[in-house]
Amino acid sequence: MPANETAPSVKKKGRRARLIVLVLVLALLTGFGYGTYWGLDTVRASFPQATGSLQVPGLTSAVEVKRDAHGIPQLYADKDEDLFRAQGFVHAQDRFWEMDVRRHLTSGRLSEMFGSGQVETDAFLRTLGWRQVAQAEYDTKLSPETKKNLQAYADGVNAYLKGKSGKDLSVEHAALKLSADYQPEQWTPVDSVAWLKAMAWDLRGNMQDEIDRALMANKLTPAQIDELYPPYPFDRNRPIVEGGKIDGGKYAPQGGSAAAGPGTGKGSTTGTGTANGSPASTTPTGLADDATAQGATVGLRTSLTSLAKTLDQIPAILGPNGSGIGSNSWVVSGKYTTTGKPLLANDPHLSPQLPSVWYQMGLHCRAVSAQCQYDVAGYTFSGMPGVVIGHNADIAWGMTNLGADVTDLYLEQVKPEGYVYDNKVVPFTTREEEIKIAGEKKSKKITVRTTNNGPLISDRSEELAAVGSRAPVASSAPDRGNGYAVALRWTALDPGKSMDAVFKLDRAKDFAGFREAARDFEVPSQNLIYADNKGPLGNIGYQAPGRIPVRGAGDGRMPAPGWDSKYAWKGGKDGNAGYIPQDEMPYDYNPGRGYIVTANQAVTETGTGQGKYPYLLTADWGYGARSQRINDLIEAKIKDSGKISTDDMRTMQMDNSSEIAALLTPMLAKIEVSDPDVRSAQKLLEGWNYTQEPDSAAAAYFNAVWRNILKLSFGDKMPKELRVEGSCMNVRGESTGPVDDLAKTVRECGARGSDSAQPDGGDRWFEVVRRLVKDEKSAWWQTPAARNQPATTTRDELFARAMKDARWELTAKLGKDQATWSWGRLHQLTLKNQTIGTEGPGFLQWLLNRGPWNLGGGEATVNATGWNASGGYGVTWVPSMRMVVNLNDLDKSRWINLTGASGHAYHDNYTDQTTLWAKGELLDWPFGKEAVDKATVETLTLKPGS
């Protein structure tokens, strides 16, 4: 049966489950190996108290927690410490399971909760050393005020934990206590700081592209790889910032000077240098024509598969590793809005989770003063104080991933006594790590070895440990010895001040304060957009912050030889990095066009010519399909009516138009088709407007055709390391004897997870195909005969075959009757509870997970409900929240979350926003005291206590 679009199962089924939980609970415990009876009180025991009063040790005065009908809290306090202590308490009330899992993830201690199955993941994360870096940040980098806020937050969490365990915390903790007698420990400030490392990991830029290009070199030529990674189309898709320059050591927007737009302070970095604005031609190594580099990377390719598999196994808090994380944000000047002040929209595209990664909240000082500085509301991370995205009384801000290249893989020559660097052997920096395992007396001990290029991640893989042991290397490469190792250089492994930036953003009053906060937002590198309500029309702006390396040789597109100092990041001795000075990072302020769009496109055009930016930010931008669509929608609306409303902004967020469909559908419609069933499907495309609504049969068929075009033209030509796991094909085997053996074939199966396999169908593939369709006889269109299908030699022959394959694929999935087809039936979202809802017993997954929902939208559309074309049609990326901020009247701003405020299964606020989110609806977002009071349905008073 087709899934319910509006998913009535979420509320109706949830209420029914509450009534029958007494009957089902015995089966639940059997899944954990116990026969103890579990009653309804176990499910409800952890629901938070939301009315009356509670004592919280450490408070100096009462804090009010006002919740609306969706359980979204607004906190009111008289001191900063009280505000953040209460925030920690309330986060723990609603989301402590999520917080507890996350801190075990970031510290490499999942095995303590879930047993031996997580040991390899823990070992990899211990090797990266997130926890050690977070501790160093707390000890040496963060301001005293930030530390005070972090400690207050931790005290609030611990006040909630006091005297609680098992079912008092969550259903999941109850299950874990029964299975492993697990007891949560106290929360610490470093637990909060470490969350930023997980955020940075999932937003780390082009590391996956770097691996994929190296693996492609096993099977594809350098020219073919270049075709699959085309340059950014600056002639068609606008960058975020146009025409700025660096003047006197400071960035100056177009038409301005170095002083244009507020901003003070000296850059804290020492690195300088320039970089070519377009990627260098991909040689077999991707690193110029240097023999040493060539020998290094040729030796590396044969074993990168192991690293790719390891990355697939690391729990991605924000999203799978394969697709580039996307997001939309844009801001429109009051000159072009119906309100007369700016409107700002943001919808970060992340992995769907239950509960959502975001938690909506307001943090209000009853009277803003030196001792109580905050009046801010927006989206928070459970486990971390402050508001990450949102607005205060003066400004609003949003974020999208800048996508800067902040990671490099280095091949290292290792010896028993150390590693080679500039013809000298340098001792490793080492540390011992002990991984404790739930249910086992014996721990696992590992040694982490670190070079000046970073930790040896190959130590966590037997295959990577022998990197280069079989592959040929150039004579100029160092002797292989016991094999090459692989190190990771990553900006997030250097302590920074991003936690300071969060509090500075929350307090900022103007563009100068906003830019000052952005200076500290070092990792992950984000596009920050801005709006304020100053003056007659307000102001809009943009800042590109982040710690972005300046490289020596190489451009970061392929792994580099770690033994050669000329490939190190510039700026310091012994491999210590230099970064682009913050004063020279691009920004914009009140541009003449009247709006700013960021959607993971190029920040600015780089290079050495007039109006080009001299530093290389990355060679792997998103390709601008979403950003240019938003530009076009804004310009069309301004041209049509001259003004844009809050509802117009919401409508733009739900735009489902497919750029690749607009390009290919006219070509598909002209192909002569003899099979009547395929011809019938082809007719669905006639008159289609290229929008991907959930009830659209045309969208279903086109996306199936697109998926099959990609498979036939590119997927089947990929090395097995990039093809989706389980996809098998016959390939010619290697000869070990007479020439005749070359004709023999072997069965070769893909090895990549479904969320990260290639081709994934994103806007890079839009650009690849756009460039190829003009060449009707390109080698990419040539395929061998298979499954009673003739070989193809031209574009139209391959398209015809893809149309036929798509017809029979949808027949198998949706039935022969096209009248029953719809995109939403293929393109479904299921929300999975963190960890247990994904990997726990099937019955427990049934209790904790929700869905499916039939969705519209798609990959690289503004309504970016992403899917991986190699893995299937299921939703892997979503707008994790949506907001539209009205700077003229903040109480008329609007917001929505993917799930709900509560992390407790069967609570009314577990997924109460999801159906609204799926329809593109937004909730009222009260901010002022009067508006908050009007929306309040429950008030809890937190009082000082012992």
> Which has the closest alpha carbon to 521: 509, 531, 529, 510?
529
% of the chain beyond a pLDDT of 70: 82
Tokens 């909506």 belong to which residue? 360
Beta bridge partners of 412: 485
The two three-digit tokens of residue 5, written as one number: 């679009």
- Give the three-state DSSP class for 763: helix
φ/ψ of 733, rounded to 5, equals -85, 170
Beta bridge partners of 728: 749
CA dist., res. 323 & res. 310, Å (int): 16
CA angle 129, 135, 137 (to 5 degrees): 105
CA dist., res. 160 & res. 92, Å (int): 7
778 CB neighbour count, 10 Å cutoff: 16
Query: Is the pLDDT score of 297 beyond 60?
Result: no
The two three-digit tokens of residue 907, written as one number: 């609570």
DSSP H/E element including 209: helix 207-216
| 8 Å CB contact between 909 and 71 | yes
Mean pLDDT of 479-500: 80
Give the pLDDT score at 313. 61
DSSP line for 800-867: HHHHHHHHHHHHHHH-S-GGG--HHHHSEEEE-BSSHHHHS-HHHHHHH-EEEEE----TTSSS----
CA dist., res. 365 & res. 760, Å (int): 47
Give the pLDDT score at 320. 52
Tell me the pLDDT tens digit for each residue of 260-282: 333 333 333 333 333 333 333 33
Residue 740's pLDDT band, with cuts at 50, 70 and 90, is very low
Tell me the pLDDT tens digit for each residue of 695-726: 999 999 999 999 999 999 999 999 988 899 88
Tell me the pLDDT tens digit for each residue of 119-166: 888 998 999 999 999 999 999 999 999 999 999 999 999 999 999 988
| 8 Å CB contact between 853 and 813 | no
Give the pLDDT score at 924. 98
Tell me the pLDDT tens digit for each residue of 914-931: 999 999 999 999 999 999
Tell me the pLDDT tens digit for each residue of 534-582: 999 999 999 999 899 998 887 888 788 899 999 988 864 444 458 999 9
Look at 32-46, 269-283, 414-428 and tell me which has the smallest mean pLDDT: 269-283
47 CB neighbour count, 10 Å cutoff: 16
Residue 36's pLDDT band, with cuts at 50, 70 and 90, is very low
DSSP state of 783: B
359-365/73-77 β-pairing:
parallel
The two three-digit tokens of residue 791, written as one number: 């070989």
DSSP line for 241-290: S-S-EEETTEEE-TTS-TTSS---------------SSPPP--SSSSTT-
> Which has the closest alpha carbon to 104: 345, 343, 436, 376?
436
| 8 Å CB contact between 112 and 122 | no
Q: Which residues contact 347 (CB under 8 A, 6 or more apart)?
A: 327, 328, 329, 653, 879, 880, 881, 882, 883
Give the pLDDT score at 559. 80
Pick the residue with more confidence: 744 or 755? 755
Residue 844's pLDDT band, with cuts at 50, 70 and 90, is low
> Which has the closest alpha carbon to 34: 682, 805, 730, 844?
844
Query: Is the pLDDT score of 508 beyond 50?
Result: yes
DSSP state of 402: -
CA dist., res. 689 & res. 136, Å (int): 54
Give the pLDDT score at 609. 77
Tokens 């950003």 belong to which residue? 627
Pick the residue with more confidence: 940 or 735? 940
| 8 Å CB contact between 862 and 630 | yes
Left, alpha or beta for 199 (phi > 0: left; psi -120 to 50: alpha)? Answer: alpha
Tell me the pLDDT tens digit for each residue of 578-623: 899 999 999 999 999 999 999 999 999 988 777 789 999 998 899 9
CA dist., res. 325 & res. 202, Å (int): 8
CA dist., res. 336 & res. 343, Å (int): 9
Q: Which long-range contacts (CB under 8 A, 24 or more apart) does 574-578 make?
A: 574/452, 575/421, 575/451, 575/452, 575/453, 576/452, 577/271, 577/489, 577/491, 577/494, 577/549, 577/550, 578/269, 578/270, 578/271, 578/272, 578/273, 578/549, 578/550
Rg of the Cα trace of the chain? 27
- Give the three-state DSSP class for 429: strand
Sign of CA dihedral 142, 144, 146, 147: positive
Residue 913's pLDDT band, with cuts at 50, 70 and 90, is very high
Residue 45's pLDDT band, with cuts at 50, 70 and 90, is confident
Give the pLDDT score at 841. 56
Tokens 């510290």 belong to which residue? 107
Beta bridge partners of 529: 398, 542
* pTM of the entire predicted model: 0.90
Query: Is the pLDDT score of 463 beyond 50?
Result: no
Residue 353 exposure: Cα atoms within 13 Å on the Cβ side? 25
Tell me how long the chain is: 946
Measured in whole angstroms, the distance separating CA 844 from the mean position of its chain's CA atoms is 27
CA angle 690, 694, 698 (to 5 degrees): 40
Mean pLDDT of 655-674: 97
How much of the chain is helix, strand and coil, in % rounded to 5?
35, 20, 45
φ/ψ of 589, rounded to 5, equals -150, 120
Give the pLDDT score at 314. 62
The two three-digit tokens of residue 674, written as one number: 């003899």
Residue 787's pLDDT band, with cuts at 50, 70 and 90, is confident
Query: Is the pLDDT score of 671 beyond 70?
Result: yes
**Sheet with 395-401: strands ordered across:** 52-57, 938-945, 63-67, 73-77, 359-365, 375-380, 389-392, 395-401, 526-532, 539-543, 587-589
Q: What is the mean pLDDT of the chain?
A: 85
CA dist., res. 247 & res. 584, Å (int): 9
Q: Where are the beta strands (DSSP E) in 17-111?
A: 52-57, 63-67, 73-77
Look at 232-246, 275-289, 685-699 and tell me which has the smallest mean pLDDT: 275-289
> Which has the closest alpha carbon to 867: 855, 875, 879, 878?
875
CA dist., res. 238 & res. 235, Å (int): 7
